Amino acid sequence: AGGPSFEVELGRRDGFVSKASRVAGQLPGPNFNLNQLNSMFAQHNLTQTDMIALSGAHIVGFSHCSRFANRLYSFSPSSPVDPDLDPTYVKQLKQACPQNVDPSIAINMDPVTPRTFDNKYFKNLVAKKGLFTSDKVLYTNRASRPTVVPFSKKQNVFKEAFITAMRKLGRVGVKTGKHGEIKVDCTAFN
């Protein structure tokens, strides 16, 4: 996908338990506001800049329609469509995700370069094409916009911040001693 290259810190142990139920509440929701995003990332010693840079990974992701349908069909009593969405983008989204669509249907989070790791995610935010509410607030909130704008203009500024944030993220919850194991095969428990 063309993402930045960097050395990953080694020597990590894996846990003995792997359950999807343990992830609940550990990842940001698509409707989070800036305070909720900052609080969640701060719990892991990640800054707002780290959070914004890591959000740039949405450039190569996809989402099920149900995760953002509220922005298209039931945003508020006075406006069914989120006014912070570009009208042309709304038409594209509604075509791909009509009301009551099959819940397994998913679309690319980046409508422009979905298979390329670039700074288009941030350009999309500026152009009102952030898919989730948690994406759009990064640009619409005055506290985070000063980070989004440089990321949208200079790909290298975004990529350097992304590398820094990924290194810090790699240090979250590191297991040592008897906690966890070094796997012989990464796809299975020892």
Cα separation, 102 vs 100, in Å, equals 7
Question: What SS3 string covers 28-90?
Answer: CCCCCCHHHHHHHHHCCCCCHHHHHHHHHHHHHCEEEHHHCCHHHHCCCCCCCCCCCCCHHHH
Q: Is residue 11 scored above 80 in pLDDT?
A: no
- 159 is written with which tokens? 């990529």
58 is in an annotated binding site: yes
87 is in an annotated binding site: no
57 pLDDT higher than 90 = yes
Find out whether 110 is annotated in a ligand binding site: yes
Q: Which residue has the higher pLDDT, 187 or 49?
A: 49
pLDDT digits (tens, 9 = 90+) for 98-151: 999 998 999 999 988 888 999 999 999 999 999 999 999 999 999 999 999 999
| Residue 92 reports pLDDT greater than 80 | yes
The dihedral built from the CA positions of residue 79, 85, 88 and 91, taken in this order, carries a sign that is negative
Provide the token pair at 105: 């249907």
Whether residue 103 is annotated as binding a ligand: the answer is: no
Mean pLDDT of 149-164: 97
| Beta carbons within 8 Å of 36's beta carbon, 6+ residues apart | 28, 29
- What number does CATH give the domain 28-61+113-169? 1.10.420.10
Q: How far is CA 186 from CA 13, 27, 172, in A?
A: 11, 23, 19
Q: Is 180 left (phi over 0), alpha (psi -120 to 50) or beta?
A: left
If you ran DSSP here, which 8-state letter would residue 18 be given? Answer: -
Domain ranges of the chain: 28-61+113-169
